[in-house]
Homo-oligomer: A and B are copies of this chain.
Amino acid sequence: MIKMGVIGYGYWGPNIVRNFGETPNARVVVCCDRDPKRLEAVKSKHPSIATTDDFEKVIKDPGVDALSIVTPVATHYKFARKALEAGKHVLVEKPLAASVAEAESLVNIAGKCGLTLMVNHTFIYTGAVRKMKEIMETGDIGDIYYFDSVRINLGLFQKDINVLWDLAPHDLSILGHLVKEQPTSVCAVGSCQFGNGVESVAYLTVYFNSGLIAHFHNNWLAPVKIRSVIVGGSKKMILYDDMQASEKIKVYDRGVEVNGQKSVHDTLVSYRMGDMWAPKLDTTEALRGVAAEFVDCVQTGRKPLTDGISGLNVVKILEASEMSIKHRGREVKL
């Protein structure tokens, strides 16, 4: 039985508490928040869970095996580092940390201490992304030409992080999960609308040596909610439309054929249209899978699917994108 402490009981914390509460071999024993009202909320809904506003007390508690850090990004590093140093396994919300230096530090500490460090890249545990992974591993898609993601809506504005730090981790983690090749550089552009230096609209390109190009559109100012990913392969293409109630994944037997090449500048390309197939997806709540993965990794010592390295890889791209935006789209090496 893994005894969990949950740090932060704001917007997202209740989902963490509920899911660990329903996971075999896990139990939430304590919740920590600075806001007494939030602790009241815990007590009223979960009378059996202890509450405290003292983080230090939690990490010193020998009855706590592991922590789930559900606080603003800027504080991830502080809490996670202290927890690891106190010998606790740690699950951190995305993005793993506010800088590459912080993320690397967490990875190193966890490695040295032999503790589980996992980042909550929730989407990796959805039925949709698991199915995409399964399909792509068969090779049916062929070479991957591009990965195009759009995640936009009229959003909850963040004051401390821009729209890429807020929304792109979801799709960057999906990219990192589906594509084994490491990206080499990024370009990003964005715009601030409210004089506060925080971009509300941004576009990010990630380059790979193979020619694969990944692109991300994130926007807090969109009138409609779009959450889609297209994976364009040489043999087949996948459309992942997360706004669909069913048929979130569509596999198109469509592709391109190079029919000959008269010269460098005269390649004959034609395209092929075939059937579309929408596989049935597992609809288990993704966060349930996150909790199960974390508990299992703590118990067995194996690496989580979304380990510290995958969290670090996302932060590397985010940090580089911020520099690229400042230089108005200049390529920044990773």
**Given known A197-B265, A264-B196, A275-B279, contact A213–B230 (CB-CB < 8 A):** no
- Whether A87 sits at the interface, judged by CB under 8 Å, is no
Contact flags (1/0) for A180-221 with B, using CB distance below 8 Å?
000001010111111111101101010100011101010101
Q: Please tell me if the beta carbons of B145 and A191 are within 8 angstroms of each other in the complex.
A: yes
Pairs A–B under 8 Å by Cβ, sample size 10: A150-B150, A154-B273, A159-B266, A185-B328, A194-B258, A196-B264, A219-B232, A221-B237, A224-B230, A253-B280
Residues of B close to A187: CB separation below 8 A: 187, 189, 328-329
- Name 17 extra pairs, CB < 8 A, besides A145-B201, A195-B261, A247-B276: A145-B200, A146-B201, A185-B328, A187-B187, A191-B211, A194-B258, A201-B213, A201-B232, A203-B205, A219-B232, A223-B250, A273-B280, A275-B279, A276-B278, A277-B277, A278-B278, A329-B329
Task: Please classify how large the interface on chain A is, using the bins under 10, 10 to 19, 20 to 34, 35 or more.
Answer: 35 or more
Contact flags (1/0) for A267-309 with B, using CB distance below 8 Å?
1011101111111100000000000000000000000000000
Q: Determine how many copies of this chain the complex contains.
A: 4
The 9 closest A-B pairs by CB, nearest first: A187-B329, A223-B252, A223-B237, A276-B278, A191-B213, A196-B267, A157-B269, A189-B205, A328-B331
- Whether A177 sits at the interface, judged by CB under 8 Å, is no
Residues of B close to A192: CB separation below 8 A: 211
Interface residues of A (CB under 8 A from B): 47, 145-146, 148, 150, 154-155, 157, 159-160, 185, 187, 189-198, 200-201, 203, 205, 207, 211-213, 215, 217, 219, 221-225, 230, 232, 234, 237-239, 243, 245-247, 250, 252-254, 256, 258, 261, 264-267, 269-271, 273-280, 324, 328-331
Most chain B Cβ neighbours within 10 Å, of A201, A205, A211, A225: A205
